[in-house]
């Protein structure tokens, strides 16, 4: 009776996510002070896990008894059983990303098997993604998008290791119906292709150390025609950087002598789709 019927009809949330969902769902119908605790609990789950009822109540600005009523209203016996859920969350939480990566990499480096090779590449890719996510220069990103969005034709320029990225960009641009030209080396007509570019176009050039001479040379040539260049490379000392209007420095981790492409790929895809979106927004779409 005294507990407002909450004890009998509800099943008690055993895991944090269910608990969270339950709280959010009932948020509107909770009394003021109870809601106050509910908000505090979701905002400071660690405090709930470690604190005492008194300390938590004080931090949340309520009485300890309110905290217990909150727990009971959710179907728990009392504060202690509620706290268990918050502790379980910390317990079951996977070890940190860095710890996991370090483990993968350690396994890859000392372990000899083929699985270790696989783990090594996964670790390298994850590291690269994590790095670029942290270090991406947003103003440069916006500038590159703007620059590419107003291009009539986007030329894509990359050889050897970077070529897969270029071919993917070309594929994605095509799907987005953005006119583009992949500068491949096959036919030996690159110089002529490059010659068609005008300042109204734009170039995405990709090259990593050791920089393919052909990429450098073609980039230089095309920049002399006044075509704006977006470069994706691995250092600001890259020969590509001097020709580029905007450049991205992407640090890819490597394994077994092969560098990852995951960060470059993610950046390339993001650039491509962002350009597509920008064009749609500004009504300049379908230049094909």
Partner DNA sequence: TAATAAATGAGTCACACGTTCCATTTGCGA
Partner DNA sequence: TCGCAAATGGAACGTGTGACTCATTTATTA
| Among positions 21, 24, 43, 54, the unique one binding DNA when judged by CB under 7 A | 54
Q: Does 118 bind a copy of itself (CB under 8 A)?
A: yes
Between CA 63 and CA 68 the distance in angstroms is 9
d(CA 26, CA 17): 14
Give the nearest distance from C-beta 88 to a copy of itself in angstroms: 9
Tell me whether the omega of the peptide bond preceding residue 210 falls within 30 degrees of 0, making it cis: yes
CB closer to a copy of itself out of 33 and 160: 160
Round to whole Å and give the CA distance between 139 and 127: 23
DSSP state of 29: G
Which residue has tokens 């996991």?
A: 100
Mask 13-52, x = binds DNA (CB under 7 A)?
A: ------------------xxxx-----------------x
* Residue in 229, 26, 65 with CA at minimum distance from that of residue 144: 229
What does each C-alpha distance from 242 to 26, 31, 50, 136 come to in angstroms? 59, 63, 54, 19
| Three-class secondary structure of residue 157 per DSSP | strand
The residues in 133-192 that bind a copy of itself, with binding defined as CB under 8 A, are: 133, 136, 138, 141-142, 145, 160-161, 163-165, 167-168, 171-172, 186
Minimum distance, C-beta of residue 91 to a copy of itself, in the bound complex (Å): 5
Q: Which residue's CB is nearer to DNA, number 53 or number 263?
A: 53
Determine the Cα–Cα distance for residues 278 and 68; give it in Å rounded to an integer: 52
Please, which of residues 57-76 interact with DNA by CB under 7 A? 62-66, 68-69, 71-72
- For residue 189, is it left (φ>0), alpha (ψ between -120 and 50) or beta? alpha
Residue with smaller CB distance to a copy of itself, 99 or 152: 99
Helix (H, G, I), strand (E, B), or coil: what is residue 72? helix
Number of residues that bind DNA (CB under 7 A): 24
Other Cβ atoms within 10 Å of 188 Cβ, number: 8
By a kind-dependent CB cut-off of 5 to 8 A, residue 167 interacts, out of a copy of itself, DNA, none, with a copy of itself
Residues near DNA (CB under 7 A): 4, 31-34, 52-55, 62-66, 68-69, 71-72, 77-81, 83
Binding-site ranges for a copy of itself (CB under 8 A): 46, 49-50, 87, 90-91, 93-100, 104, 114-115, 117-122, 125-126, 129-130, 132-133, 136, 138, 141-142, 145, 160-161, 163-165, 167-168, 171-172, 186, 255-256, 258, 260-262, 265-267, 269-270, 272-274, 277-278
């Amino acid at each position: 009776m005294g507990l407002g019927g909450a004890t009998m009809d509800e099943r008690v949330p055993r895991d944090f996510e269910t608990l969270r969902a339950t709280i959010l769902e009932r948020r509107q119908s909770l009394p003021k002070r109870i809601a106050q605790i509910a908000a505090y609990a979701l905002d400071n789950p660690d405090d709930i896990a470690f604190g005492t009822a008194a300390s938590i109540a004080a931090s949340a600005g309520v009485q300890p008894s309110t905290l217990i009523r909150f727990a009971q209203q959710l179907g728990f016996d009392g504060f202690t059983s509620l706290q268990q859920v918050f502790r379980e969350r910390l317990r079951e939480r996977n070890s940190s990303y860095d710890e996991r990566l370090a483990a993968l990499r350690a396994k890859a480096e000392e372990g000899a098997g083929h699985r270790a090779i696989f783990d090594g590449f996964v670790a390298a890719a994850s590291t690269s993604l994590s790095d670029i996510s942290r270090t991406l220069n947003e103003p440069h990103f916006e500038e590159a998008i703007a620059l590419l969005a107003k291009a009539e034709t986007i030329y894509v320029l990359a050889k050897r290791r970077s070529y897969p990225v270029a071919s993917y960009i070309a594929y994605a641009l095509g799907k987005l119906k953005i006119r583009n030209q992949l500068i491949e080396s096959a036919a030996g007509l690159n110089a002529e292709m490059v010659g068609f570019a005008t300042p109204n176009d734009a170039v995405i050039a990709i090259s990593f150390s050791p920089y393919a001479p052909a990429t450098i040379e073609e980039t230089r040539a095309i920049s002399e025609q006044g075509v704006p260049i977006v470069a994706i490379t691995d250092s600001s000392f890259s020969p590509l950087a001097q020709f580029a209007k905007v450049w991205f420095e992407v640090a890819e981790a490597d394994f077994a002598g092969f560098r990852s492409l995951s960060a470059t790929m993610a950046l390339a895809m993001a650039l491509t789709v962002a350009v597509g979106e920008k064009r749609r927004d500004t009504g300049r779409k379908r230049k094909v």
